[in-house]
Amino acid sequence: MAEILKSMAERVLVCVGPSPASTDLIRAAQRLAADLQAEWFAVYVEDPRMLRLPEAERNRAVYNLRLAEQLGAETVTLRGRHIAAEIVNFARQRNITRVVAGKPVRSRWQALLSESPVDGLVRRGGDFEVRLLAGKPAGPEATPILIQPKRSRWPGYELGLGYFILATVLAFLMYPYFDLPNLIMVYLLAVMVTAVQCGRGPAILNSLLGVLAFDFCFVPPRWSFTVDEAKYIVTFAVMFLVAVVIGHLASLIRRQAEAARLQERQTAAMHALSRELAGTRGVEKILQAAVQQISTIFECQAVALLPDDKGKLRAAAGDLAAVFHQDILKELGVAQWTYEADQMAGWGTQTFPDSPILYMPLPASQGALGVLALRPRDPEAENWLLPEQLRLRFLESLAKQVALALEVERLEKTALAAQIAMENERLRTSLLSAVTHDLQTPLAAIMGSTTSLLQGQLPPQVTQELLTNIYDETERLSRLVNNLLDMAKLESGSLKLKKELQPLEEVVGAALNHLERRLAERPVQVSLPADLPMVPLDGALAEQIFINLLENALRYTPAGSPIAISATLAGDHLEVEVADRGPGFSPEDLDKIFEMYYRGSTGQDLTGYGLGLSICRAIVEAHGGRIWALNRDGGGAAVRFTLPLAVPEK
């Protein structure tokens, strides 16, 4: 159903061209789309005739497309020989319902001799409504600012004259041996070479000079412009017409070849930038890669500017001093305007054209992410002398690639933050569940024993058992609370170690005394060599390691089975082991046993809460050691950990 509704929705298309009146058409299409709450497109078709337009008019088409994009349109550039056919095909592909076009201003003779694109659009289209508007030409302030190269006054004409002289010399050499039509071919060849090498203007001049030279030097009577036979007049006319056509076609092919070469080079540059950005992570590294690539492509100094928390632009990558030589505050003001307006400014644009720096915004869905500032090393370089519509379109494409990489990085960080928040919420829920269960169990036991004591006179033996139960459950509750507090402090980093040199046997003894009553029926073997050195420890935390490991041994091993504590000197650290003769660890538990809330996969119905070993790992790592679990030969489990020794002072 959603797809059907989407296909039935209104869509508006506006035909954009190099005419200043296109601005009125664009604004009218924007108002129409807003009234219909419809998507709208701005389409510009480049046909071969567009290549022959002056550069200022071709640039104006780019500015019109940019205006449409700023007003919210999706801009599309099509290429083809027939404008109307390309627009109709696009309209049918995108399910366009209304087309806005400019009413053609043509003479009666032009209308009779050729069909305008608008007439072809009306004739071909039947699936959409065509609305014709008569736009008002924009004022002179809308003329784009062009970057004019310092070229010679007559570019290519000197070389074209050289080709003409060479053709004439060759014709003199051929004259005694060839007929006059063969000499015409020499001049036509010179015209074609001139068109390819120098352009259409020199080729037309070469055509005229070739006709005059052929008449003066070779057509009887020679050395005179007088023609005895009328047939030669037709020859001259055809020769000139053919030469002009050949020159025009060769010039057109030359322009198309140059455009293809530029597009290929730009595609390669964009591919290189995409490949570089695809393998880069981190905002700073992305911008550094972008600045380096763009500096190489356009032979310029570049710097990337990103906003701070207050929205003020700051240099994020590149050499700021290499771009802003003087009037830094003024140039930063232009960059700030570019960021806030999300429009290009500076060198070669209509906004702040006196600036020697070109400012490109990094466009995103919710406004500019930052600004690229480019200072050409040599404004006469080939990349900066491209037709403006090619140069700015290329720069915009590169800026969009950089902005897309930054947007992906931002989305990845947002997704990671959301994932971390979800994980924290899961851990918080798990902790609440574990704490709720483990707090309720001892509290229920304490409450039950206390209630029995308050109900009346009980035998001394029963009273003693109830008091012992209250004590055991209170001790268990105290251990749980202490473990939770220790874990919270270790995870937050607020727990500071208070290391002091002390013998390991004192720490082990304190832990054994703490669990003396529970270990009364267990054989505990302590093997600590007498020559063990002093260890830098936080005594209270180190004692907690042994208490947690011994409690695990008591909980997971059969009653009466032995427990062993040992330590050996291994280089610059002590290796300590707490072992038992219980069922041991299952293979899948060895890598997970120290994770929070992990209770093992033995299937036993135990009341532990999965914090003891994770606290042991946190304390050991805080001391600079490591901890691991293993199964003993002959059955049983062991937990080993290392404690670094004090480094002797030199």
For all residues of the chain together, what is the average pLDDT? 77
| Whole-angstrom distance, CA of residue 343 vs CA of residue 177 | 67
Contacts of 304 by beta carbon, 8 Å cutoff, 6+ apart = 287, 290, 291, 315, 316, 317, 318, 370, 371, 372, 373, 402
Cβ atoms within 10 Å of 576's Cβ, excluding its own: 26
Amino acid of residue 592 = K
Q: Provide the angle, in degrees to the nearest 10, between the axes of the packed helices 388-454 and 231-278.
A: 20
2-142: CATH superfamily: HUPs (3.40.50.620)
Cβ atoms within 10 Å of 374's Cβ, excluding its own: 22
Q: Residue 200 class from Cβ within 10 Å (0-12 exposed, 13-18 middle, 19+ buried)? A: buried
What torsion, rounded to 10 degrees, do the Cα atoms 505, 511, 515, 520 define? -10
DSSP codes of every residue in 198-227 = H-HHHHHHHHHHHHHHHHHHTSSSTTSS--
pLDDT tens digits, one per residue of 588-610: 778 778 876 666 655 454 455 56
CB neighbour burial string for 378-392, b if at least 16 within 10 angstroms, e if fewer: ebeeebbbbbbbbbb
| Whole-angstrom distance, CA of residue 560 vs CA of residue 279 | 60
| Whole-angstrom distance, CA of residue 377 vs CA of residue 299 | 6
Taking residues 522-540, report their average pLDDT: 89
CATH number at 279-408: 3.30.450.40
Residues of the chain with CATH 3.30.565.10: 496-644
Residues of the chain with CATH 3.30.450.40: 279-408
| Whole-angstrom distance, CA of residue 429 vs CA of residue 435 | 10
8 Å CB contact between 166 and 190: yes
pLDDT surpassing 70 at residue 650: no
CB neighbour burial string for 396-415, b if at least 16 within 10 angstroms, e if fewer: bebbbbbbbbbbebeeeeee
Amino acid of residue 167 = A
User: Residue 385: its pLDDT value, please?
Assistant: 47
Cβ atoms within 10 Å of 26's Cβ, excluding its own: 25
| Whole-angstrom distance, CA of residue 461 vs CA of residue 468 | 11
Residue 405: phi, psi to the nearest 5? -65, -40
SS3 292: helix
Beta bridge partners of 41: 13, 74
User: Residue 368: its pLDDT value, please?
Assistant: 82
Q: Which fold has domain 496-644?
A: Heat Shock Protein 90 (3.30.565)
CB neighbour burial string for 596-630, b if at least 16 within 10 angstroms, e if fewer: beeebeeeeeeebbbbbbbbbbbbbebbebebebe
Q: Residue 254 class from Cβ within 10 Å (0-12 exposed, 13-18 middle, 19+ buried)? A: middle
Taking residues 113-117, report their average pLDDT: 64
Across 227-341, the runs of DSSP E, i.e. the strands, are 300-307, 313-318
CA 650 from chain centre, in angstroms, equals 52
8 Å CB contact between 399 and 363: yes
Q: Which pairing describes strands 300-307 and 637-644: parallel, antiparallel, or unpaired?
A: unpaired
pLDDT tens digits, one per residue of 17-72: 887 788 888 888 888 998 888 899 988 887 766 655 665 666 677 778 878 887 88
Of the pLDDT bands very low, low, confident and very high (cuts 50, 70, 90), residue 551 is confident
Q: Which residue has the tokens 């309209």?
A: 91
Nearest to 184 by CA among 146, 214, 225, 206: 214
- Can you read off the two tokens belonging to residue 98? 């209304």
User: Residue 112: its pLDDT value, please?
Assistant: 52
Taking residues 436-458, report their average pLDDT: 76
Of the pLDDT bands very low, low, confident and very high (cuts 50, 70, 90), residue 138 is very low
Q: Residue 11 class from Cβ within 10 Å (0-12 exposed, 13-18 middle, 19+ buried)? A: buried
Of the pLDDT bands very low, low, confident and very high (cuts 50, 70, 90), residue 563 is very high
Q: Which residue has the tokens 């971390």?
A: 420
SS3 268: helix
Q: Which residue has the tokens 């140059």?
A: 258
CA torsion sign for 395, 400, 403, 405 is negative
Q: Which pairing describes strands 371-376 and 300-307: parallel, antiparallel, or unpaired?
A: antiparallel
Residue ranges in 299-354 assigned as alpha helix (H): 320-323, 328-341
Residues of the chain with CATH 3.40.50.620: 2-142
Distances (CA, A) of 641 to 486, 493, 542, 576, 593: 19, 21, 11, 5, 14
Of the pLDDT bands very low, low, confident and very high (cuts 50, 70, 90), residue 495 is low
Q: Which residue has the higher pLDDT, 296 or 579?
A: 579
pLDDT tens digits, one per residue of 227-280: 666 667 777 777 778 777 877 777 777 777 766 776 676 667 667 777 777 777
SS3 527: strand
| Whole-angstrom distance, CA of residue 564 vs CA of residue 527 | 8
Of the pLDDT bands very low, low, confident and very high (cuts 50, 70, 90), residue 508 is very high
Nearest to 269 by CA among 164, 383, 385: 383
8 Å CB contact between 124 and 84: yes
pLDDT surpassing 70 at residue 322: yes
pLDDT surpassing 60 at residue 146: no
How many residues does this entry show for the chain?
Answer: 650
Amino acid of residue 641 = F
